[in-house]
Amino acid sequence: MRVTESVLVGLYLVGMTVVGIYFYKRARSSEDDYFTAGRSIGTFVGAFAIFAAIASSSSLMGAVGGGVALGLPYFVTYAFGVVGALPLVIFLVAGQLSKSGVRTVPDFFRQRFGVSVQIVAAVIVVLAMTFYLVPQLTAAGLIGSYVLGINYGTAVVVLGLGFTLYAALGGMWAITYTDLVQGMIMLVGIVVLAGAILFSRGWDFAGLLDEALTVDPAFGEVTQPWMSYFGIFIAFIWFGIISPSVVMRNFASRSPFVARRSSMWATLIYAVLFAAGAVVATAGAAMGRIDELDNRDFIFILAIEQYLPSILAGIILAGLLAAIMSSADAMLLAISAGVAHDLYKGVINRQAAERLVTGVGLAVMFLAVGLGIVFALDPPGLIAVMVGWVGGFLLSSFGAPLVLGIWWRGATTAGALAGMVGGAATFVVLMIGGWFPTNAEPIIATPLSLALVIVVSLVTGPTTPRQQDLVARYHAAEPETVGR
C-alpha cells in the first residue's frame, strides 16, 4: 500500500461524495434538476463539464496505453478524432438540441419522431452506456490495486460503488460540479506529469522521441490496418454528438449560446490534454516495459512511478480517478435517464410523480454499475479499443437519425427507426463476425444507417406539419444576449 497516494485518493473520494450529499435535496426536487441541473449551467462550469464527460480513462490511460502498444500514429489518430469532436458539436447540434427543451437523447427522438423511436433509442443508450462503464471500471481497478495494495477485483467493486454514490445522490447538479473539479485535476495532473518528464530530459522532446524509437521502432510505425485508424477516427470525431452522456450537457446549459461556447472552450482544454499525453506516451515507449505488462494500459502508472515523487503521484492518480469518475458519472446519469425518464415515465407510467422517477433513476445507477463490475472483472481488451467499440456502436445507431432529424425536414419516423435499428444491428453483426479490423465496423454500419434513413424517409414521406415545425424551431434565431 502506498500511504501518501492512498490518503490523497481517499480524501478525493470523500470530497466528491460530500458534494453528492450537498446536492441531494435539490436534485431530487424535480426531473429537470436531477437530469439537467435546472438548465442553469454557465460557460466556465459547462466547458469543464463537457471536457470531463468526454475525457474518460480512455483519454489518459487508454490513449497512452494504446499509443505505446499500437504506435504513435494510433495515438495521433485518436487525439485528432476526439479534439475534432467538439467543433463538430458546435456546428451541428449544440444550439439546436438546447432549443429543443428536452432532457435526454431518447426524449429528443420522441419529440421529433415519436414514442417508438424513443423506446429503441432508450434501449440502445442503456446497453451502450452500461458497456462504456467497463473500461472506466477497468482503469479504476488498475489504479486501486496499485495505490491501495488490494487485488484488482476488490478495487473495481470499491471504487465503482464509490463514484456511483455521489452521482446517484446528486444527479446532474453533483455531476456537473464534481466534473468541474475533476476536469481541473485531470488537466493539471497530465500537464504536471508531462512537465516532469520533459524537465528530466532537459526539455528535449526530440531526444525523448529518438530514444523511444530506438527502444521500440514500432512506436513510430503504422501497426494496424487503415480501416482501424479510419474507424476509430470517425467514431471519436462524432462522439460528442452521438454519446448521450455528452449530449446531455447541452440540455443543462442555460442557453443555446452558452452550449456552443462551452464546447468551444472544452475543445481548447482537450487539445492541451492530448499534447501532454503525447509526451507521456513517448516516455512510456522509451521505458521499454510494455511487453512485461499483463494489462498494457498500466504503462501510464509506471510513468507516474518513475517520474514523480509520492505526493505528486497521489495528485496525478487522483487525476486519473477524476477522468474515470467524470465520465462514469455522466454514463450512469444517461443510463438512469434512459430507464427512469424515457422508459418508465415515457412508456410504462406516464403519470409517475417526479420524485418517484428520480428515485427509480437512483436505483438504476446502482444496478448498472453492478453489471459493469461483472464485465470489468475480466475486461475484453485495451481501454481505448473498448471505448472505440462504444463510439462505433453509437455512431452507427444515432449518427444519421440525430443529425438528419435536426437538419432535414423530410426525415420520417419510419426512416429514423430503420436507420437506428439497421445501423445498430449491422455494427453488432460485424463486430461479432470479426470480418473487419478492430474498430473498423462503423465504416460500413454508419453509411448503411444514413442510406436507410434517407431511402425509407423518401418512401414513407412526407413528414407531418408538426415535424416540419419542429425542425424550424431548432433553427430559429435566438437573442444572443440572453444567458451568456
| pLDDT for position 384 | 62
Instruction: State yes or no: pLDDT of 106 exceeds 90.
Output: no
**Cell for 23?**
446536492
**Range of 19-23, 203-207, 349-353, 369-373 with top mean pLDDT:** 203-207
**In angstroms, what is the C-alpha Rg of the chain?**
21
**Cell for 350?**
406516464
| pLDDT for position 319 | 66
pLDDT range class, residue 481, cuts 50, 70, 90: very low
**H helices present in 408-482, as ranges:** 413-433, 442-460, 465-474
Give per-residue pLDDT as tens, 296-308: 777 888 888 888 8
For every residue of 243-299, which 3-state class applies, written as one string? CHHHHHHHHHECCHHHHHHHHHHHHHHHHHHHHHHHHHHHHHHHHCCHHHCCCHHHH
Is residue 297 classed exposed, middle or buried when 0-12, 13-18 and 19+ CB atoms within 10 A define those classes?
buried
Instruction: State yes or no: pLDDT of 429 exceeds 90.
Output: yes
Give per-residue pLDDT as tens, 368-398: 888 888 888 877 656 667 777 888 898 999 9
Give per-residue pLDDT as tens, 22-51: 776 666 666 677 666 777 788 888 888 788
More confident residue, 334 or 20: 334
* Sign of the CA dihedral running 79, 246, 378, 123: negative
More confident residue, 174 or 474: 474
Q: Which CATH architecture best describes the domain 3-380? A: Up-down Bundle (1.20)
Q: Give me the mean pLDDT over the 145-172 stretch.
A: 76
pLDDT range class, residue 407, cuts 50, 70, 90: very high
| pLDDT for position 29 | 66
More confident residue, 20 or 279: 279
Distance CA 429, CA 435 (A): 10
**H helices present in 149-255, as ranges:** 152-200, 205-215, 226-237, 239-242, 244-252
Is residue 371 classed exposed, middle or buried when 0-12, 13-18 and 19+ CB atoms within 10 A define those classes?
middle
Instruction: State yes or no: pLDDT of 318 exceeds 80.
Output: no
Q: Is the pTM of this model over 0.85?
A: no
Instruction: State yes or no: pLDDT of 406 exceeds 90.
Output: yes
- Domain ranges for the chain: 3-380
More confident residue, 479 or 476: 476
